[in-house]
Amino acid sequence: MRRHRHEFVEKYDGMMAFGYSREEDERSLIVFMQKFSDDEHLKLLTNRLSDSEIEELVDRLTGLMKKHMSEEEYHRHFLKD
């Protein structure tokens, strides 16, 4: 059973652009993050990141989740417990 999905990016036919409206920014961020997390893309990129860049990225993303998600949401939606 697959626990992770990237369906939005496959169905979205709008533009990926930021700064037009909050709604467009949210849709664009979903597309951006799903494209960013593509397996082939991440294999290419992670090999090129420095140790400090990896740490910065993990710290930033973890910090955003801690700020905006409850512990229960983190476990349910991110960890998929």
Tens digit of pLDDT for each residue in 11-57? 999 999 999 999 999 999 999 999 999 999 999 999 999 999 999 99
For residues 62 and 57, give the distance between their C-alpha atoms in angstroms, rounded to a whole number.
8
Give the residue ranges of DSSP H helices in 17-81.
22-36, 39-46, 51-68, 71-73
Q: What is the pLDDT, as a whole number, of residue 16?
A: 96
Phi-psi region of 32 (alpha: psi -120 to 50; beta: other; left: phi over 0): alpha
